[in-house]
Structure 1
């Protein structure tokens, strides 16, 4: 079971990162070009929100069944175990909270520029945090 969940988490991560990058780039381009915020822009941001939340759910399941997750939490002297058991989950949860806040805040805004700016900031910070704590050694 662990191997299947781990492969799914790793594979879905590529999709989540791609959609999140697309959402951030779309928001930055929309803000820079002062274009109208359309349903397409909203859907791109919504897909970013959905795929990151799915990735979080898969990751939480993996955290409890993986030997690199909760089971290795007491071994903080090993850098790779500290990354997978503490740093990666904690920082990714913060990143997804920021992405969720960005989604929620955009609904209350009225101007197109402020919506793009909100997505640029919150989704962008979430993306940077996620990229900063990925276990790159397990990817390549």
Structure 2
């Protein structure tokens, strides 16, 4: 089935990237205020050995930044494609990879990288 790339589809592309950038801005604001991150950077040698501190000090922000970069690239590439099918394929590929990275970067209770309970 060949579906046309409608104005709604383009809005989804645009708003996905826009909301991701807003989330990035909020995340950076929270990151610089986090006591775990402050401890990590003040005590780097001990912090890097602490799995939770290292996760939130480096790994989480690097993975989330990477995901936002992938979403931005995917959005820009899809916008420039001429063929509607290519627009959908481009968005699917780049956004899916970004989503996988986001899921890895979340401190799930079952994550081997860093875990937090659902409720504290």
Name the TM-score, length of structure 1 as normaliser: 0.72
Judged with a 3 Å threshold, the aligned counterparts in structure 2 of structure 1 residues 60 and 139 are, in CA distance, closer, same or farther, namely: farther
Q: Which has the higher contact order (CA 8 A, sep 6+)?
A: 1
2:65 is equivalent to residue 108 of structure 1: no
Unaligned ranges ≥5, structure 1: 1-32
Residue of structure 1 equivalent to 2:102: 130
Name the TM-score, length of structure 2 as normaliser: 0.83
Matching of residues 1-140 of structure 1 within 5 Å: 33-73=1-41, 74=44, 75-136=47-108, 137-138=115-116, 140=118
Residue of structure 2 equivalent to 1:29: none
Residue of structure 2 equivalent to 1:12: none
Q: How many residues align?
A: 108
CA RMSD between the two structures: 1.4
Distance 1:42 1:70 in 2: 40
User: Which stretches of structure 1, 4 residues or more, deviate above 6 A after TM superposition?
Assistant: none
Unaligned ranges ≥5, structure 2: 109-114
Distance 1:37 1:86 in 2: 38
Distance 2:107 2:50 in 1: 13
Q: Secondary structure at the match of 2:5?
A: coil
Residue of structure 1 equivalent to 2:111: none
CA contact (8 A) 1:62 1:69 kept: no
Judged with a 3 Å threshold, the aligned counterparts in structure 2 of structure 1 residues 70 and 119 are, in CA distance, closer, same or farther, namely: farther
Per residue, is there more helix in 1 or in 2? 1
The structure with the largest alpha-carbon Rg is 2
